[in-house]
Amino acid sequence: MDNSSAANGKPLDFIRQIIADDLQTGKHQKIVTRFPPEPNGYLHIGHAKSICLNFGVAEEFNGLCNLRFDDTNPSREEITYVNSIQEDVRWLGFEWTEQVRFASDYFPQLYDFAVRLIELGKAYVCQLSPEEIRQYRGTLTEPGQNSPYRERGIAENLALFEQMRQGELAEGSHVLRAKIDMASANLNLRDPVLYRILKVAHHRTGQSWQIYPMYDYTHCLSDMLEGITHSLCTLEFEDHRPLYDWVLATLQTPCHPRQIEFARLNLSYTVMSKRKLLKMVTGSHVDGWDDPRMLTISGLRRRGYTPAAIRSFCRNIGIGKSDSRIDMAVLENEVRADLNLKAERRMCVLEPLKLVIDNYPEGRQEQVMAKNHPQNEEMGERPITFSKELYIERDDFMELPGKRYHRLAPGREVRLRYGYLVRCVSVDKDPASGVVNTVHCTYDPDTRGGSAPDGRKVKGTIHWVSATDAVPVTIRLFDRLFSVADPEEDKSLDFLDHLNPASKVVLTGALAEPSLLEPPDFPLQFERQGYFFADPEESRPGQPVFNRTVTLKDSWEGKQ
């Protein structure tokens, strides 16, 4: 491709510009990126940004992208996460180069590099306790103090490090530290810990290791071993970059990837950290990692989001260098735009009210044709049954309507979508409660299909189902999981205090067209109600459960 401009004609973001320049100048012939999740939770929409960036630039610049599990913390990691992460990356539409990689595959090499650092006099075994290490580190305004173990001889360090590895020393008693500069303005360079003793089994290496390398040490070397050219990470690693570079420079590695930081994605009305998401799962505040209200990839998938919508969202928010919070409405607009094109239309009445057409012949039924998509003829049409008894949406009728109400009311005429024009003539009420339970109408037989031969106008068109064949379906309506835009802002409160108690509403009395009894595996629009997706976990044949993916319009602002 022409590296001076993006494929879509938009100017390149600063990372793509760097990559384009590196290819132009011949610094690299082929670029290699990686997506490096820690397998300690499910991926969320923030990870999607990183996935779309790493796999995206590899695709655009004809390069490669690895999937590497950063599995250096055995106590928090699980194989289920490893599997779900791969599923999510694939679902988003990306495929990694060759086999999946694991940082743990490099444990032997990382150990050898640590030995090399000791031999170079650049690492030492330290016996300060974790608490003492913290004290000796100093603060942002005060330099740190050298550890009393800093000047230990190379041979002794090598022997102790070997003992650490053999499991001869107690957890927490010794660590291996880089020997850099305890007075550095960057705290990350004040002799950071490279290895700690952890007598914990690892999900891949089992009991073979008693010591585990720290993230910063592991990451740069793993990148180097894989020949990564551009190591893209989020801004919080900016202060770690000098350490990344120090390790590679000190070891004089044959390749030295360039770390470049970009701003993480923050979204309003949600939290993004896996630690917090885990807390919501373990505390049963949601129904699992893939709860459709969760902003995890698996939750979004279950809710009916499409990979195309998520990719488009990531593309459109762009890549920048300053942290910001994206409004949830931006994400919702993306899925709306995609589903508007893709979703077949159906009719479903969420809160039914019976409508009887008094002048329609008893026992008669007719088939009317309904379009599966109003603009796309190729999506075809389907027959639906029209009959004397129908159900309409309870809020499509009002006994005492205001001026701007254009739906059904006593004496008013509306169009039944794809059916006839009907006029309300009377209502039946529940004797005890006084609530309207049946609306009586007359229909105009000359208006089949919805238009009147005399050209008279009706303002309202409402959806309906026939009492003769409508089927019961369960509907779940979702609202934002949190009731404030930034649940983490007020540090005096727990983020869980801001959970929205009404984030899930289950409707069990909804009635739909009969074909929906078999849960479809494609997205739908229920006319006038939003986009819906049959829950793949909880739907059963004959008992569909529909999740509302998103409403038709952004109604959130109006609700507040």
List interacting residues with Mg ion (CB under 5 A): 38
3-state secondary structure of 404: coil
If phi > 0 it is left, if psi is from -120 to 50 it is alpha, else beta; for residue 62 that is: left
Distance of alpha carbon 463 from alpha carbon 350, whole angstroms:
10
203 C-beta neighbours (distance < 10 Å), count: 17
Site of tokens 């409402």: 462
Distance of alpha carbon 239 from alpha carbon 237, whole angstroms:
5
The tokens for 132 are: 């003492």
Residue 257 contact partner, candidates Mg ion, ligand ATP, none, CB within 5 to 8 A by sort of partner: none
- Chain residues binding ligand ATP by CB under 6 A are 36-38, 46-47, 49-50, 233-234, 264-265, 272-275
CB of 38 to Mg ion, least distance (A): 5
Residue 97 contact partner, candidates Mg ion, ligand ATP, none, CB within 5 to 8 A by sort of partner: none
Residue 142 annotated in active site: no
Residue tagged active-site, from 38, 344, 366, 381: 38
CB of 255 to ligand ATP, least distance (A): 19
Residue 30 contact partner, candidates Mg ion, ligand ATP, none, CB within 5 to 8 A by sort of partner: none
Q: Which is nearer to Mg ion, 69 or 478 (CB)?
A: 69
Residue tagged active-site, from 264, 382, 423, 480: 264
CB of 483 to Mg ion, least distance (A): 28
Residue 56 contact partner, candidates ligand ATP, Mg ion, none, CB within 5 to 8 A by sort of partner: none
Residue 38 annotated in active site: yes
Residue 271's identity, in one-letter code, is V
Site of tokens 């983490």: 488
- Taking CB positions, which residue lies at the least distance from ligand ATP? 46
Q: Which is nearer to Mg ion, 38 or 389 (CB)?
A: 38
CB of 53 to Mg ion, least distance (A): 16
Residue 336 contact partner, candidates Mg ion, ligand ATP, none, CB within 5 to 8 A by sort of partner: none
Residue 233 contact partner, candidates Mg ion, ligand ATP, none, CB within 5 to 8 A by sort of partner: ligand ATP
Q: Which is nearer to ligand ATP, 266 or 474 (CB)?
A: 266
514 C-beta neighbours (distance < 10 Å), count: 15
Residue 3's identity, in one-letter code, is N
Distance of alpha carbon 153 from alpha carbon 166, whole angstroms:
20
Residue 36 contact partner, candidates Mg ion, ligand ATP, none, CB within 5 to 8 A by sort of partner: ligand ATP
* Host H or E run for residue 346: strand 344-346
CB of 281 to ligand ATP, least distance (A): 13
211 C-beta neighbours (distance < 10 Å), count: 24
Bridge partner residues of 439 (DSSP): 355, 427
- Taking CB positions, which residue lies at the least distance from Mg ion? 38
Q: Which is nearer to Mg ion, 258 or 274 (CB)?
A: 274
Q: Which is nearer to Mg ion, 264 or 504 (CB)?
A: 264
CB of 408 to Mg ion, least distance (A): 55
Pairing of strands 344-346, 324-326: unpaired
CB of 49 to ligand ATP, least distance (A): 4
CB of 61 to ligand ATP, least distance (A): 19
200 C-beta neighbours (distance < 10 Å), count: 15
Residue 34 annotated in active site: no
Q: Which is nearer to ligand ATP, 267 or 516 (CB)?
A: 267
Q: Which is nearer to Mg ion, 43 or 133 (CB)?
A: 43
55 C-beta neighbours (distance < 10 Å), count: 26
Contact 295, 90 (CB under 8 A): no
Print the SS3 string covering 157-202.
HHHHHHHHHHCCCCCCCCEEEECCCCCCCCHHHCCCEEEEECCCCE
List CB contacts of 505: < 8 A, sequence separation 6 or more.
476, 477, 478, 479
3-state secondary structure of 145: coil
Residue 273 contact partner, candidates Mg ion, ligand ATP, none, CB within 5 to 8 A by sort of partner: ligand ATP
| 3-state class percentages of the chain: helix first, strand second, coil last, to nearest 5 | 30, 25, 45
Residue tagged active-site, from 122, 274, 346, 417: 274
Distance of alpha carbon 15 from alpha carbon 37, whole angstroms:
20
Contact 271, 483 (CB under 8 A): no
Contact 494, 468 (CB under 8 A): no
Q: Which is nearer to Mg ion, 101 or 548 (CB)?
A: 101
Active site residues: 38, 264, 274
